[in-house]
Amino acid sequence: MSIKTRLILSNLGMIIIPIFSILFIDIAIVNIMLFIFHMAPNENLQLFLNIRFISFLLVLIITIGVLTYFVSKSIIQPIQQLAEAAEKIAHGNLDFSLKIKGKDEISQLANSFETMRKKLKETKELNKKYEQNRRELIASISHDLKTPITSIKGYINGIKDGIANTPEKMERYINTIENKASELDHLIDELFLFSKLSLNKVQYHFMQFDLKDYLQDYIDELRFDLGDKNEMISLVVEGDLDYKVTADRNQLHRVMTNLIQNSLKYMDKETPKITVRLSSTNDFIKVAVWDNGSGIEKESLPFIFDQFYRTDASRNSSTGGSGIGLAIVKQIIEDHGGTVWAESEKNIGTSIFFTLPKAGENR
C-alpha cells in the first residue's frame, strides 16, 4: 500500500470512526443509565450530554492517537533504518543487509538503497582486488626486469675483470649479453602491449583474409626457423570449408607466437609435437594449439590466462617468461569478439583453443 493511500485511509478513519462511535456511545450511555443506574436520559439531560461529550472526546483522542501511531510507525521506522544504513555506509561499513517489507515508496527507496550498497561493496572488493593486483604487478615487473639486468651486469663485470680471457669466452659472454638484452626488450614490449590492451589503447587494423592460408604461411615460416626440428609442428584443417575471418593480422601473429612459445617453453618429451588444428562452426572458426608437453595441473588450469600467473612453483623456474603471454592472447581474442580456453592433462599435453567470428558475423 502506498504512503498516499495509507494517509487517505488514515484521515477517513479519523472521520468515520468517531461518527459511528457517537451512535454506539449514545446507545451504551442510554442502556447504562436506564438498566444499571435506573436513570432516564431525558430527566438527566445535562449528565447525559456531559458523559456523551467526554466519551466522544476519548474515542476521538484514541482514534487519532492509534491511527497516527501506526501510520507514522510505518513511515518513520523505515526512514530510521535508512538513516542508520546511511550512517554505516558513511563510516565505511558495507557488511550489512537492509530489509524493509512492503511495496510503498519507502520500500522502493530501501530496495534501491540496498542495491546501491551491494554495488558499493562489489566496487570496494573490486578495488581491493585491483590494489592487490597492482602490488603483484609491481613486484612481478621488478622481478622480471631485474633478472636479465642482473645477468647482463654480471657478464659485463666478468669482461671488465678479465674473466673472459679467451676469444671463445668473450664470444660466449657477448652472445649471452645479447640474448639477455633481447629477452629484456621482449619483456618490455609485452608489458607495454599488455598495458595498452588493458587501457583499450591498441589500434586494431581489421581486414578480411583466409585464416587457413594465413596459418599455413605462419607454420611454413615457423618450420624454417626450427630447422631440423621442423617436423615437430603441423597444421590440420577440417574439411574444405570457408575459413575467412575479419581480424588484425599483426595481433593474430602475436597470439599464435605466444601460444607456440608457450608450448615450446613447457615441452619435456624426447619427440616433441605441436599441432595446430583448424575447424569451423556455424558462426565461428576455432583454432586449437595442442602440444605433448608437461601439461598443467587441474587446479592451475582456470588461472593460466591471468596476468603474471605461472604454473611453476618457483619464479626462478628455468622456463622463464613474463607471465603475461596468455593474458595478452585472451585480451586480443576477446577484442576480436572471440573466446579462449584451455584443456590439459598432466604429463600428457595441453590444448589452447580460441575462436574468431567468421567474416561478416558479429562484426
Q: Give the pLDDT confidence of 283-313 residue by residue, as tens digits.
A: 899 999 999 888 888 888 888 887 655 555 4
Per the rule left: phi > 0, alpha: psi between -120 and 50, beta: everything else, 64 is alpha
Same domain for 231 and 153? no
Q: Are 8 and 89 part of one and the same domain?
A: yes
Q: Mean pLDDT, to the nearest integer, of 172-182?
A: 89
Residue 350 in grid coordinates? 595441453
How many other C-beta atoms lie within 10 A of the C-beta of residue 277?
17
87 and 211 housed in the same domain: no
DSSP β-ladder status, 349-357 and 207-210: unpaired
- Using alpha carbons only, give the angle 328, 358, 204 rounded to the nearest 5 degrees: 40
Segment 335-350 shows an average pLDDT of: 91
Query: Among the three residues 62, 93, 124, which one is the final residue of a domain in this structure?
Result: 93
Count of domains forming the chain = 3
Task: Write down the residue that cell numbers 607466437 correspond to.
Answer: 257
Picking from 248, 214, 230, 240, the residue whose alpha carbon sits closest to that of residue 338 is 248
Partners of residue 357 on adjacent β-strands: 284
Is 149 part of a structural domain of the chain? yes
225 and 178 in one domain?
no
How far is residue 278's CA from residue 212's CA, in Å, rounded to a whole number? 7
- How many Cα neighbours within 13 Å face the side chain of 96? 15
Same domain, 58 and 82: yes
For residue 62, the one-letter residue type is I
Domain contains 113: no
Do 55 and 29 touch, CB atoms closer than 8 A?
yes
Residue 174 domain flag: yes
Residue 362 belongs to a domain = no
Of 164, 198, 232, the residue at which a domain comes to its end is 198
Q: Is residue 215 part of a domain?
A: yes
Confidence at residue 120, expressed as pLDDT on a 0 to 100 scale: 87
Whether residue 252 is found in the same domain as residue 333 = yes
Domain holding 156, by residue range, is 140-198
pLDDT digits (tens, 9 = 90+) for 195-251: 788 777 888 899 999 999 999 999 999 888 877 777 788 999 988 788 999 999 999
Read off the DSSP letter of residue 349: E
pLDDT band for position 319 (50/70/90)?
very low
Whether residue 363 is predicted with pLDDT greater than 70 in this model: the reply is no
- Give every CB contact of residue 349 below 8 A, 6+ residues apart in sequence: 290, 291, 292, 293, 295
Q: What number of other Cβ atoms are within 10 A of residue 81's Cβ?
A: 16
